[in-house]
Amino acid sequence: MSSANPLRDASDRRLPRIAGPSGLVIFGVTGDLSRKKLMPAVYDLANRGLLPPGFSLVGFARRDWADEDFAQVVHDSVKEHARTPFREEVWQQLSEGMRFVPGDFGDDQAFEKLRATVDELDKARGTGGNFAFYLSVPPKFFPSVVQQLKKHGLSDPPEGSWRRAVIEKPFGHDLASAQELNRVVHQVFRSAEVFRIDHYLGKETVQNILALRFANTMFEPLWNRSYVDHVQITMAEDIGIGGRAGYYDGIGAARDVIQNHLLQLLALTAMEEPSCFEATSLVQEKLKVLQAVRLPGDLGGHTVRGQYAHGWQGGEEVLGYLEEEGIDAKSRTDTYAAIKLGIDNRRWAGVPFYLRAGKRLGRRVTEIAVVFQRAPHSPFDNTATEELGQNALVIRVQPDEGVTIRFGSKVPGTSMEIRDVTMDFAYGESFTESSPEAYERLILDVLLGDANLFPRPQEVEESWRILDPIEEYWDRHGKPEQYTAGTWGPKAADEMLARDGRSWRRP
Amino acid sequence: MNIDLTETTSSKINSALIKARRSIGSPAVGMVLTLVIVTDEGNHYDALKAASDASREHPSRILVVIKRPGRSPRDRRSARLDAEVRVGGESGTGEIVLLRLHGELADHAESVVLPLLLPDAPVVVWWPEDAPANPAEDLLGQLAARRITDAAATEDPVAALGLRAATYAPGDTDLAWTRITPWRSVLAAALDQKQAAVKGAVVEGEAYNPSTELLGLWLARRLGVPVRRKVSDGPGITAVRLATADGEICLDRPTGSLAELAIPGQPDRHVALQRRATSDLIAEELRRLDPDEAYAAAVKFGVDRLAHAEETAEPAAAAAGTGQDGGSGKKAAAR
């Protein structure tokens, strides 16, 4: 965005950040993610007036479609999944810039056609040579796609424009593969032009962690080992692996979500204040805290993995993991993982961070619970505080985004009796704006070139450094414990906390 | 739940609000602001509908002040407060109180409203029509952080803009300004794409459409070039043309929904520019409650600096007048 534009003024806060002239090319456009998230997000952005006039969307997939067929698919997915109401004139503006390129990733002709399409859009729609390539494909295809982009001159921006690559998790399955992936992508795209999507970072509640901690005075003084007893970060899903057997088996919960989402949440919860709210300062602080993460000495006693077993969940009978179609009956993949981590710095020494993630758990919920120590001395007698738990601050990431504070309060009546109550802030109720979907924010940021909400390669590699020893230990020792679907995980996980004299929150 | 109160007081209304909340089972919610709508019996329905649509996503307390000063001298001497409390059901998560101020009380609305404001939450006052000459000095306006007027709802919109400029205080805003946000953002985006010096501009729109004037003022001030105002058949604003050395940047919206953006050296493109409902405008206003400096600068620039289409353009930078009155502005729109 040019500062020379006389119509732009920092104090004019009604004018939104609109992306400059640009287009988005989606590989794997027929996939679920693309239909349920990416296309609706593009429409919602257009509907909110945040896309530039002439914005173009190019689909690339192995389908025998014409541009119109593609537009119809986008139309259907937008109608079904978009957050904002469907408006004909917005659709008209958007549909004029839709193109489809059929072909394989190995097909030189298809990439020549893609190149011609990009050139045609520059002329017909004024996209100015600026294109983002969204690789919504399994990572094994990354090398061939980026090499094809390079070979056909699509990755080299014409003078004064940009070409960016957007990639989705998984970013490898261990440190070595992550480094290899980074090498492959960075051969073709400059490091600053590669955007790794961790859609959790696009969520309003996650961005709000930083606002909550660093824009207020009342939380930060308590945010350390003097007051915090421990932190629990939970990401529970009620679904099983569905049709993703091929992807999930051999990966497991720890690699699938702890490595990226949960460690990012940990970094945001535990990091020091960045010197400013810019990508480089944020990365610096996040890296510092990830580098300070310490694994437990006894990996057997402080990590737990599980596999969901046949059971009833929310009124439905569901299959166990080993009974799912396409899963080897002897599979040792973890569908539940819980680990205890420490952070070796002055702020957090001695405060355990418990991370857990799993499928087929009680309900779908992601939250960060900061649990405080008990008051060092209480003037009330034991019976009065019998029902008083530990104070807690809970950041509800999804669903029902918000913040809950839990503290003790006197029960009305003649006797002194103190019980836990909660104070609640709900995102949905407190703002005049409804929260945009994570993908809306992230796609807009890619087009604007704003890297604040994207994990950088060092962070990804650092996270693997934390997880690799655990995965190696699991490979060599035992197998996952079975837990009944619809419960809150294996018994060993409860025992793991019980050994520390603590218990999991029921989220 | 609806509670009707006749010959009541603010403190009885407060009790009724608490009672109504309890009865629907939610004794406390985090309401974010108090919106005061000052209107009359004839217009309150539309205004209330727009406000409650706008506040659907967040609970707020909406106080509708309906003034009924009375027609006969006897009515005017008496004073009575009737109220209708609506909580839950159609009013969504917020609370709505309709206040009917009879007789002499119509002149003392602030005494009724003050005790009903939410603690610690910002107050917004909206006059859908008949705004006071000086909103910031108005007794209700003084309670508010944000004062919303609508020049388009007045008999002489361009004169109203002059009046808004003369009495501007931080926190004032006008729906005529809100209506042009989409135009402004597309024009700014167009100049992002085409970095050329603009030599002059033309704004075209319906007569009696103060948004057209405001858009012209904004362009004149930001670009420092002469801007001409042309009257068209509408609806609303129909076109903006920016003259550059390479040709004309033109944003043209003949039908009121889909516009066409033409930039020299680039393909013509369609842009969705829907005319928005009042509820959308109010929602935009409630988004930011800090003073709108861009609006202040534009409205104070002075409507009489816009040249009429047939007149020779006068360079804006050379025009140094400051005090704007309604009379000179009226000229531009009347023709």
Q: For residue range A228-246, what is the model confidence (pLDDT) as tens digits?
A: 999 999 999 988 887 777 7
* The predicted structure's pLDDT at residue A317: 87
| CA B154 remoteness from chain centre | 12
For residue A155, give how far its alpha carbon lies from the nearest alpha carbon of chain B (Å): 22
* Mean pLDDT on B290-296: 91
What would the pLDDT profile of A414-469 be if each residue is shown by its tens digit? 788 888 888 888 776 666 566 788 899 999 999 999 888 899 999 999 999 999 99
Q: Which tokens in the block code for residue B197?
A: 């010096």
Q: Report whether the peptide linkage leading into residue B128 is cis, meaning its omega lies within 30 degrees of zero.
A: no
Give yes or no for A20 touching B (CB within 8 A): yes
Nearest CA in chain B to A93: B270
Best of A5, A14, A447 to substitute, by most chain B Cβ atoms within 10 angstroms, is: A14
Name the residue facing A7 among B222, B267, B273 (closest C-beta): B222
CA distance B126 to B299: 18
pLDDT tens for B73-113 read 888 888 899 999 988 766 666 789 999 999 989 889 999 99
For residue A228, the cross-strand partners are: A372
Alpha-carbon distance B37 to nearest alpha carbon in chain A (angstroms) = 17
- Residue B119 contacts A where some CB pair is shorter than 8 Å: no
Q: Cα angle vertex B32, ends B185, A86, to 5°?
A: 45
Inter-CA distances, A475 with A8, A300, A354, A430, Å: 57, 12, 21, 47
Q: Which residues of A touch B198 (CB under 8 A)?
A: 6
In tens, the pLDDT along B136-154 reads 999 999 999 999 999 999 9
- How confident is the model at residue B325, as a pLDDT? 40
Burial of A85 (0-12, 13-18, 19+ CB in 10 A): exposed
Nearest to B267 among A1, A124, A429 (CB): A124
At A384, the pLDDT band (50, 70, 90 cuts) reads: confident
Asked whether residue A6 carries a pLDDT value surpassing 60, the answer given is yes
Residue B32 sits at the chain A interface (C-beta within 8 Å): yes
- One-letter amino acid identity for A180? E
A14–B266 CB contact, under 8 Å:
no
Domain spans in chain B, listed from the N-terminal domain onward: 2-149, 176-328
Q: What is the CA radius of gyration of chain B?
A: 22
Q: How many CB atoms lie within 10 A of CB A337?
A: 28
What is the complex's ipTM, to 2 decimals?
Answer: 0.73
A477 has catalytic annotation? no
| Residue A371 clears pLDDT 90, i.e. is over it | yes
The pLDDT value recorded for residue B163 is 93
Percentage of chain B lying above the pLDDT 70 cut: 88
Q: Which residues pair with B262 in a beta bridge?
A: B250
Instruction: Say yes or no for a CB contact (<8 Å) between A6 and B187.
Output: no
Is B269 within 8 Å of A123 when comparing Cβ atoms? no
pLDDT of amino acid B317:
40
Chain B: give the shortest CA distance to residue A236, in Å: 27
- Report whether A293 contacts A340 (CB < 8 A): no
Phi/psi at A29 (5° precision) = -75, -15
Q: How far apart are the first and last CA of chain B?
A: 52
**Secondary structure in 3-state letters for A445-478:** HHHHCCCCCCCCHHHHHHHHHHHHHHHHHHHHCC
What are phi and psi for residue A364, nearest 5 degrees? -80, 115
Task: Tell whether A11 is within 8 A of chain B (Cβ).
Answer: yes
CB contact under 8 A, B189 and A46: no
Average pLDDT over residues A329-348: 93
CA distance linking residue A351 with residue A224, whole number of Å: 8
Q: For residue A89, which residues of chain B lie inside 8 Å, CB to CB?
A: 257-258, 270, 272-274
pLDDT at position B316 is 42
At the fourth CATH level, which superfamily is domain A23-168?
NAD(P)-binding Rossmann-like Domain (3.40.50.720)
Express as a percent the part of chain B with pLDDT over 90: 47
pLDDT at B279: 87
Beta strand A481-484 with A303-309 is parallel
Q: What is the DSSP pairing of strand A131-135 with strand A98-102?
A: unpaired
Distance CA(A222)–CA(B261), nearest Å, equals 54
Assess contact for A203 and A398: CB atoms under 8 A.
yes
What is the model's pLDDT at position B313? 40
**Torsion, Cα of B209, B214, B217, B221 (10° steps):** -170
Q: Where in chain A are the domains? A: 23-168, 201-435+478-499
Instruction: Say if residue A149's pLDDT is above 80.
Output: yes
Q: Please state, in angstroms and rounded to a whole number, the distance separating the CA atoms of residues B239 and A448.
A: 28
pLDDT value for B335 = 36
Nearest CA distance, B93 vs chain A (angstrom): 8
Q: Is the pLDDT of residue A2 over 60?
A: no
CATH homologous superfamily of domain A201-435+478-499?
Dihydrodipicolinate Reductase; domain 2 (3.30.360.10)
- Interface size between A and B, measured as CB pairs under 8 A: 130
- Integer Cα distance of B150 and B176 in angstroms: 6
Least confident stretch, A4-8, A49-53, A335-339, B123-127: A4-8
Residue A334 has pLDDT above 90, yes or no: yes
Pairwise CB contact (< 8 Å): A20 & B192: yes
Residue B67, beta-bridge partner list: B101
* 3-class DSSP assignment, residue B196: coil
- A16 contacts in chain B (CB < 8 Å): 185
* Own/partner pairs, A105-113, CB within 8 angstroms, 24+ separation: A105/A27, A105/A137, A105/A141, A105/A144, A105/A145, A105/A148, A106/A144, A106/A148, A108/A148, A108/A151, A108/A152, A110/A60, A111/A148, A111/A149, A111/A151, A111/A152, A111/A154, A112/A152
pLDDT beyond 80 at B315? no
Would an 8 Å CB–CB cutoff place A49 in contact with chain B? Answer: yes
* pLDDT tens track for B14-37: 889 888 887 876 655 667 889 999
In single-letter form, the type of residue at position A109 comes to: Q
Q: Which residue has the higher pLDDT, B306 or A262?
A: A262
Question: What confidence category does residue B280 fall into, taking pLDDT thresholds of 50, 70 and 90?
Answer: confident
Please check the confidence at residue B331 and state whether its pLDDT lies above 60: no
Give the per-residue pLDDT at B26.
63
- Residue A101, pLDDT > 80, answer yes
Rounded CA separation A267/A459 (Å): 10
In this predicted structure, the answer to whether residue B117 has a pLDDT above a threshold of 70 is: yes
> Which residue carries 């995102």 as its tokens?
A427
pLDDT tens string B196-232: 889 999 999 998 899 999 999 999 999 999 999 999 9
Q: Which letter does DSSP use for residue B275 in this model?
A: P
Is A199 annotated as contributing to ligand binding? Answer: yes
CA dihedral B101, B106, B110, B111 (to 10 degrees): -70
Name the catalytic one among A261, A302, A377, A477: A261
Over range A276-305, report the average pLDDT: 92
Which residue has tokens 């603009």? B198
Return all residues near A406 (Cβ < 8 A) that are at least 6 apart: A389, A391, A392, A393, A394, A420, A421, A422, A423
Task: List pLDDT tens digits, range B302-314.
Answer: 878 887 755 434 4
* Interchain proximity B57–A433, CB inside 8 Å: yes
The fraction of chain A above a pLDDT of 90, given in percent, is 54
Q: How far apart are CA A134 and CA A443, in angstroms?
A: 10
> With a CB-CB cutoff of 8 Å, which residues 386-445 of chain A face chain B?
424-426, 428-434
Which H or E element spans position B332?
helix B326-334
Q: Is A9 in Cβ contact with B222 (below 8 Å)?
A: yes
Arithmetic mean of pLDDT over chain A: 89
B180 with B215: CB under 8 angstroms? yes
- Given a contact cutoff of 8 angstroms between Cβ atoms, the answer to whether A115 and A41 are in contact is no
Residue with tokens 């909400």: A453
Closest CA to A470 of A303, A333, A352: A303
pLDDT of residue B290: 86
Amino acid occupying residue B239? A
Q: Which of B231, B65, B40, B64 is nearest to B153 (CA)?
A: B40
pLDDT at residue B65 in the model: 95
Query: Do A93 and B258 lie within an 8 Å CB cutoff?
Result: yes
